[in-house]
Chains A and B, each alone.
Chain A
Amino acid sequence: EDQVTQSPEALRLQEGESSSLNCSYTVSGLRGLFWYRQDPGKGPEFLFTLYSAGEEKEKERLKATLTKKESFLHITAPKPEDSATYLCAVQGGSEKLVFGKGTKLTVNP
């Protein structure tokens, strides 16, 4: 059974204080690992797809990396507008996405 565990559950940062969110996964035959951002009261918004170990993708202050067992979402010099819940999901051999419970990030000015 595919599983995704995200840590920490919640993270508070000061503006400009860089950090990383972790997504550990077990899946049979990884077809893709996905990062989403979710703002309160809204649907998740797609950020990145990673397909194989060693792959990295960047978007503004965010960089996602992938190993065979986990993915990291690095946030460099965050701003208050980066505050959101970040969701990780994996797709294995089926057509189904399995999501983690998310990390709630708060960036204080």
Chain B
Amino acid sequence: NAGVTQTPKFQVLKTGQSMTLQCAQDMNHEYMSWYRQDPGMGLRLIHYSVGAGITDQGEVPNGYNVSRSTTEDFPLRLLSAAPSQTSVYFCASSFGTSSYEQYFGPGTRLTVT
């Protein structure tokens, strides 16, 4: 199993540009989530999904959009990038419709100039 994969690993955007961070898992996990990690702030939940076709907002959802058309994929879209979205983004998944024992991807380091 590849586990949780994220692409790209690094990305630089200009203010106002849009992009999609990709996340995929091959463990047949129902629960998937996106976090951002900033120095001194810890991990903060952006959006999560308890199964295909079901998504919900986390703690910091503004400026981000998600969809879950398959069990395997959970892309995160930045609609119009802002410098405040400079961060490291982690995707995670877990068995069942719960956050128990989440498996994290390697992260995407995003810089918005």
Closest to A48 in B: B101
B107 and A42 within 8 A (CB):
yes
B106 and A42 within 8 A (CB):
yes
B101 and A49 within 8 A (CB):
yes
A99 and B101 within 8 A (CB):
no
Residue A45 interfacial (CB < 8 Å): yes
Residue B12 interfacial (CB < 8 Å): no
Distance, CA A88 to CA B110, complexed state (A)? 24
B43 and A91 within 8 A (CB):
no
Size band of the interface chain B makes with A? 20 to 34
Residue B74 interfacial (CB < 8 Å): no
B42 and A97 within 8 A (CB):
no
Q: Which of A87-109 contact B (CB under 8 A)?
A: 87, 89, 91, 95-102
Contacts of A31 in B (CB 8 A): 98
Other-chain residue from A32, A87, A95 in contact with B43 (beta carbon distance below 8 A): A87
Q: Which of A24-50 contact B (CB under 8 A)?
A: 31-32, 34, 36, 41-46, 49
B100 and A49 within 8 A (CB):
yes
Q: A residues within 8 Å of B by Cβ? A: 31-32, 34, 36, 41-46, 49, 87, 89, 91, 95-102
